[in-house]
Amino acid sequence: MTPDKFSPPWWARSPHIQTILPVLTKEQSPKVTRERLELADGDFIDLDWCGQASNGKPVLVLIHGLEGSSESHYARRMLNQCHLKGLTAVVHHHRSCSGLPNRLARSYHSGDTEDLGHTLTQIRTRLPDSPIWACGYSLGGNIVTKYLGETGSDSLIDRAVVVSAPLQLGACAERLKAGFSRVYQNYLIRQLQAKTLEKVNHPQLGKQMPLDESKVRELTTFHQFDDAVTAPLHGFKGVQDYYQRASGMPFLAKIQVPTLVLHAGDDPFMTSDVIPPPNGLAPNVEYELQPLGGHVGFINGGLPWRPRYYLEPRILYFLTGES
């Protein structure tokens, strides 16, 4: 039995309702167990596990978006569904996103596939016979796309879903400068500024930061932040080099494992530039473009104070074949 088609109710046809209401109506999440992975460069990654991993049984890796975590609304809902279905899931936190600052001046970015690769290697080593599935949301979806394209047939991910991914970073950065989308940009930039200021004012890390406190406060767009902070801290020549090399779009044609890519045409974080051309998809990639849905929204019914979603049934049906 396939999941219900996506048909948002009358009260959730606005992209901003779709994007904001899920944040305001978060579910309680099941109990998770935290694990810390130490990295070779002296930093760390935190994983939040839900369910008991067992060799031979699938593991679903969730990769959150910009400044997200296992507390994000979409992660909570998916963890709940996995808990109900007896499926082991684990949230891979980007550096600095698990509630504690990371140890280095560098942090994470939209094309950072090495940290995800480290997590996947650890899972594969411990559970050699377990299928590894992945679901990446927003920035996390771009990372998953790039990882799958880079690794091809050597991917440690066996099946994947990519939700609301900014596959053309430059175009999305421009989109977030305009109209109501600036509200989302301002909200996220304030979080990035706060983390950056902590490092600028840190006794040791401050010496490695490429800017001072006054400059941090002047960074009010993603384009400015990525040029002044993200690019220099992560080895890019500048913002354009970062956007070009980190965007997931060119990697869609190189994916060798079954992958579902899901976008909403009204996503306030995106433009039509994120829609891949027909010849830009590998045979294993299924592309689904819904006209409505906002950014990681896809409310499909229920009531405003208790919405029902399209995402979890759709994702799990693609991964498991079961509704």
Q: CA angle, corner 240, sides to 237 and 242, nearest 5? A: 65
Question: Has residue 301 been placed in a domain?
Answer: yes
What does the alpha-carbon distance between residue 73 and residue 79 come to, in Å, rounded to a whole number? 10
How many domains would you assign to the chain? 2
Residue 207 and residue 59 in one domain: no
Q: Give start and end residues of each alpha helix (H) in 154-180.
A: 169-175
The letter for the amino acid at 118 is H
Model confidence, pTM: 0.97
Which CATH number covers residue 42?
A: 3.40.50.1820
Residue 69 and residue 160 in one domain: yes
Nearest to 247 by CA among 149, 133, 156, 137: 149
- Considering only CA atoms, give the Rg of the chain: 19
Residue 234 and residue 132 in one domain: no
Beta strands 59-63; 88-92: pairing state: parallel
- Count the Cβ atoms, other than its own, within 10 Å of residue 153: 8
- Count the Cβ atoms, other than its own, within 10 Å of residue 102: 23
Residue 281 and residue 153 in one domain: yes
Is residue 298 within 8 Å of 311, Cβ to Cβ? Answer: yes
Question: Has residue 114 been placed in a domain?
Answer: yes
pLDDT in tens, 12-30: 999 999 999 999 999 998 9
Question: Has residue 282 been placed in a domain?
Answer: yes
Is residue 134 within 8 Å of 144, Cβ to Cβ? Answer: yes
Place of tokens 């919405």: 307
Residue 135 and residue 37 in one domain: yes
What pLDDT score does 195 carry? 97
What pLDDT score does 321 carry? 80
- Burial (CB < 10 A; 0-12, 13-18, 19+), residue 80, is middle
Please identify every stretch of the chain with a pLDDT value under 70, giving residue numbers as ranges.
Answer: 1, 323
Residues serving a catalytic function are 138, 267, 295
In the chain, helix, strand, coil percent, each to 5? 40, 15, 40
What pLDDT score does 1 carry? 55
pLDDT in tens, 96-122: 999 999 999 999 999 999 999 999 999
Question: Has residue 312 been placed in a domain?
Answer: yes
What pLDDT score does 162 carry? 98
What does the alpha-carbon distance between residue 138 and residue 263 come to, in Å, rounded to a whole number? 10
Which structural domain range is residue 189 located in?
Answer: 173-246
Of 216, 246, 276, which marks where a domain is finished?
Answer: 246
Give 288's strand partners. Answer: 262
- Phi then psi for residue 259, to 5 deg, are -140, 135
